[in-house]
Structure 1
């Protein structure tokens, strides 16, 4: 199986999230990686190098399109990363929490929705983009005219 090498599982775990920009058709897509388990869950069935130990759902990291399903809001912001708590990615604008492994949300404004997943594979501790619809462009997110300054809500969640 081929694919574009993005980063390492260790880097995603250390930073809490990691983002890149890819091309899909004529549009650029922001994507972010998160560990598939809350740090308190231990290694979630993965051995030291980030490979799975036979679990059907043992992928140590997941990749998601960088947008809340409720409103066009970044979940991962440059300089901040993705806000995670208890195995969930939290929308900084409305507080909706998306499961890091499944992408599903059962609370807040985005309840009943699921983040769009992007196919990645882990080999020898490295994370590879294997989604056939996306072509890697660069690490990080585009400067979106100040969008990285945070949401325009009054909640401004940080943890």
Structure 2
């Protein structure tokens, strides 16, 4: 399989998240990228310089608790303190390892998609997925946002 160039680390950092759609078998999968800066030294740019493959991480675009998008077109993924926050229930998933230790999704982990960073570009390297297009599929307007039961406000 040939790696597919998705975007740049700079774009993911500037926008906070970046999404694409891929094919896995007979199913389309929504995937989103988020910056990861858990490398020693921390701070902006640390992940890219210390370990380029960890500069961004890719996750299936669904909360593990309920079939809820974590990244939405026009909004992106809500991130706070190194976590991706589910807009419906407020569960926070670590942006670097996908784990959740709070809320309705506590004890679960997002499904990771393999990506690599080379020369500042992010490549899809997951053998199970074939890139289809940038962005998310139109789901006929029924994803105007969650009916939140979270106590968090964004």
Q: What SS does structure 1 have at the residue aligned with 2:143?
A: helix
State yes or no: 1:21 paired with 2:40: no
Distance 1:117 1:69, change over 3 A: same
State the partner residue of 1:96: 91
Distance 1:140 1:156, change over 3 A: farther
Alpha-carbon distance in structure 1 between the residues aligned to 2:96 and 2:12: 14
Structure 2: give runs of 5+ residues left out of the alignment. Answer: none
1:83–1:158 Cα contact (<8 Å) kept:
no
Distance 1:157 1:76, change over 3 A: farther
1:145 CA displacement? 1.7
2:21–2:137 Cα contact (<8 Å) kept:
yes
Structure 1 residues 27-72: Cα deviation after superposition (integer angstroms, max 9, x where no partner): 000000000138x83223423xxxxx3x4x9610000000000000
State the partner residue of 2:139: 144
Alpha-carbon distance in structure 1 between the residues aligned to 2:24 and 2:132: 10
* TM-score of the two chains, using structure 2 as the length reference: 0.90
Moved over 6 A (4+): none
Structure 1: give runs of 5+ residues left out of the alignment. Answer: 48-52
Q: What SS does structure 1 have at the residue aligned with 2:12?
A: helix
Residue of 120, 127, 133 corresponding to 1:132: 127
Alpha-carbon distance in structure 1 between the residues aligned to 2:25 and 2:53: 30
1:146 CA displacement? 1.6
2:23–2:129 Cα contact (<8 Å) kept:
yes
Matches within 5 A, 1:8-157: 8-37=8-37, 41-47=43-49, 53=50, 55=51, 59-155=54-150
Alpha-carbon distance in structure 2 between the residues aligned to 1:122 and 1:147: 34
Distance 1:81 1:120, change over 3 A: same
1:93–1:156 Cα contact (<8 Å) kept:
no
User: How large is the RMSD of aligned CA atoms in angstroms?
Assistant: 2.0
* TM-score of the two chains, using structure 1 as the length reference: 0.88
